[in-house]
Chain A
Amino acid sequence: MDILRFATAGSVDDGKSTLIGRLLFDSKAIFEDQLEAVERTSRDRGTEYTDLSLLTDGLRAEREQGITIDVAYRYFATPRRKFIIADTPGHIQYTRNMVTGASTADLAIILIDARKGVLEQSRRHAFLTSLLRVPHLVLAVNKMDLVGYSRERFEEIREEFTAFASKLNVTDLTFIPISALNGDNVVSRSENMPWYLGTSLLHHLENVHIASDRNLVDVRFPVQYVIRPQRATDHAFHDYRGYAGQVAGGVLKPGDEVVHLPSGLTTRIASIDTFDGPVEEAFPPMSVTLRFEDDLDISRGDMIARPNNQPQVAQELQAMVCWMADGVKLTPRSKLTIKHTTRTARAMVRDLHYRLDVNTLHRDEEATSLGLNEIGRVSLRVTQPMFVDDYARNRMTGGFILVDESTNGTVGAGMIMDAS
């Protein structure tokens, strides 16, 4: 059994909570005591139906204000897969939350109300999904029951959205007509839409092929932690020196020739160690410990790659940045801390090339700053060389965060462009 992480985009009005509630309920991930609590609260508030959004709105402030503040993570499993849902709210601060939820997602579900069709927010959701390189996109056309299960309406929406998506980097796009309220095409195929020949949403989630979404070609191993036991009592490990980390790309094997960055020196992998014994190969997302044949000076923040396939070594970074801070704006000459893989350095904004309107994709080249939830093309100068790939090629070696040096808050998320 493997894991599928997916993000859901849409507002309560689109039926997002109802859809999530149904997936959780039908997979028995909602328990009786949770359902009773929701029923009790719904009754107390005089709501006639059981308000499944109460299951996902967890915080007191949210219940009091009837809004969702933050990304909530939900879990369910079927015999085929374990699922992690990043449930992101659909209103203010939407961009920040959706970018956060999409950063680790294998798939995104965008909900569209069949009566309203493709709205500005649907286009925004699709753009963010493609910006964050979520490999699979599902457009769930919801409330089909309210348009008489009309095939024409579904096709209309499909055509309109397909035309828009052709401007984006969407590699796998699936359209599913559903009614979250009635359960049509959610868990099982609907008898109300015999014209729809595809699978149910859950069937799609269970079967979409994600194993090859990882980069298994470019060997990338950011060194995270140096393990040196130096226990006098344990002679077997007295001279042990291992480099621990999580594989960010490629497949590593003992005997492979590798290059260490920044030194550029080459050596061979002597052994790939784990607590459970040495392994014959390591690939993403495994956490392992490497030992090398030669004694090199290697520390946290360094990178292991292949001599004939190395990341870009750069102190000038070109990136799309999503700004996430409430007060301070990003402007040229802003100084920030950057964290990329296991390497932390200081960064200065050299230039803001343009600000992107996430609804129209218009590039505003006159923009002088990025505020909360705004996205722009930025160049950064970094105090140390970074070992980067295009975000489109590898999310682990192409993504970074920016930290405000006075508040210590995480204020930006960046995606490397044009590294090669």
Chain B
Amino acid sequence: MLQRDYTTSQLDVLEAEAIHIMREVAAEFERPCLLFSGGKDSIVMLRIAEKAFWPAPIPFPLMHVDTGHNFDEVIEFRDRRSAELGARLIVASVQESIDQGRVVEDTGRRASRNRLQTTTLLDAIEEHEFDAVFGGARRDEEKARAKERVFSFRDDFGQWDPKNQRPELWNLYNSRIRKGEHIRVFPLSNWTELDVWDYIRREGIEIPSIYFAHTRKVFERDGMLLPDSDVVRRGDDEALFESVVRYRTVGDMTCTGAVQSSAGTVEEIIEEIAATRITERGATRADDRASEAAMEDRKREGYF
């Protein structure tokens, strides 16, 4: 008879599932890569990859789609963490896509390179012939993502067709594709924002400093606090002021808002999130506010 209950904590179950997904990709695809932005979700994903293949090195390169409008602290972290792991880091540059005439930059005060990333990403996937691309997206983030598979099929044009998704049963994932197509893989699909933070705390994982409360010059636009920076176009009517803030998500400076917070440790961040009544993307992402289906539309085009 069994002497004990063999219960498993939610983080252990989520970690075991994510490790299984990563190993499945490494076994079944020729050229996977992992999207690493230096944001908390991709940091957790990278830790899972480290665990999945230990003591061997991570058997695929990392890739960052760099808009050129990222926070310095995050870029520094990205480079340092990749070097520590001895991983190969590919930086796909949106600036290069602009210089080559692949995309045309928006103009005006609200110009953002967010949407341009899709072209740069798809070009890089094609150039490096990646057949599987790991992303850190979670289903609790957004309602289009709630319906996306763990193995999400993309056609030759990198497009997602929400009405034509492959059924996904048990822990069996279908990795069959033709040349030119690829699969976006989301090992953190079943994690929530709080799970990610609980895991960061449990594992003692380092994260970029901008996630913690700091003093920053900001201005207010549409209820969001945007940073004072060369790349963010600020109108004369948008006054700068100093505030104690932190970032709940890390993206482009032009569309990522800070939240007023005094949380200086991971524990304090977890307390703050447990009490918050606003979703992370709702609070901090201008890119999702464009329309009710903003994420769905961008995903269809091949966005992360």
Contact = CB atoms under 8 A, between A and B. Distances in A.
Interface of A: 1-3, 28, 31-34, 37, 41, 55, 57-61, 63, 69-75, 77, 81-82, 84, 96-97, 99-100, 103-104, 211-212, 214, 216, 224-225, 227-231, 234, 236-237, 240, 244-246, 251, 273-276, 283, 285-287, 289, 300, 324, 337, 339-340, 342, 395-396, 399-401, 403, 408-410, 413
B292 A2 contact: no
Contacts, number: 189
18 contacts: A2-B7, A2-B13, A33-B278, A58-B144, A70-B162, A75-B139, A100-B169, A211-B6, A228-B56, A230-B56, A236-B55, A240-B55, A244-B23, A275-B54, A285-B16, A286-B8, A287-B17, A403-B174
Contact of A3 (B13, B162, B178): B13
Given A103-B170, A286-B16, A399-B172, 12 more contacts: A3-B13, A59-B296, A69-B163, A96-B167, A100-B168, A104-B169, A234-B55, A244-B23, A275-B54, A287-B16, A300-B27, A410-B174
Contacts of A96: 167
Interface stretch (B95-103, B124-132, B187-195): B187-195
B168 A70 contact: no
A71 B13 CA distance: 21
Interface of B: 2, 5-10, 12-17, 19-20, 23-24, 26-27, 50-57, 139-140, 143-144, 146-147, 162-163, 165-172, 174, 176-178, 189-190, 192, 194-195, 276-279, 282-283, 292-293, 296-297
B13 A275 contact: no
Nearest to B27: A225
Contacts of A100: 167-169
Contacts of B13: 2-3, 285
Nearest to B191: A75
Contacts of A289: 54
A340 B172 CA distance: 7
Contact of A225 (B2, B23, B163, B166): B23
A408 B178 contact: yes
A276 B48 CA distance: 12
Given A100-B168, A339-B174, A410-B174, A31 B147 contact: no
The 6 closest A-B pairs by CB, nearest first: A58-B143, A33-B282, A275-B51, A408-B176, A287-B19, A103-B169
B144 A403 contact: no
A293 B178 CA distance: 41
Contact of A251 (B6, B14, B178): B6
A400 B2 contact: no
B12 A225 contact: no
Nearest to B26: A225
Contacts of B296: 58-60
Nearest to A33: B282
Contacts of A283: 6
Nearest to A233: B86
B27 A224 contact: yes
B165 A70 contact: yes
Contacts of B12: 286
Contacts of A214: 6
B6 A216 contact: yes
Contacts of B54: 227, 273-275, 289
A207 to B, nearest CB: 13
B5 A211 contact: yes
A237 B10 contact: no
A73 B139 contact: yes
B147 A71 contact: yes
Contact of A399 (B10, B23, B169): B169
B23 A287 contact: yes
Contacts of A274: 51, 54
A408 B163 contact: no
B190 A410 contact: no
A211 to B, nearest CB: 5
Contacts of B165: 70
A2 B167 contact: no
A41 B172 CA distance: 37
Contacts of B195: 82
A60 B293 contact: yes
Contacts of A72: 143, 146-147
A288 B226 CA distance: 44
A229 B5 CA distance: 35
A97 to B, nearest CB: 8
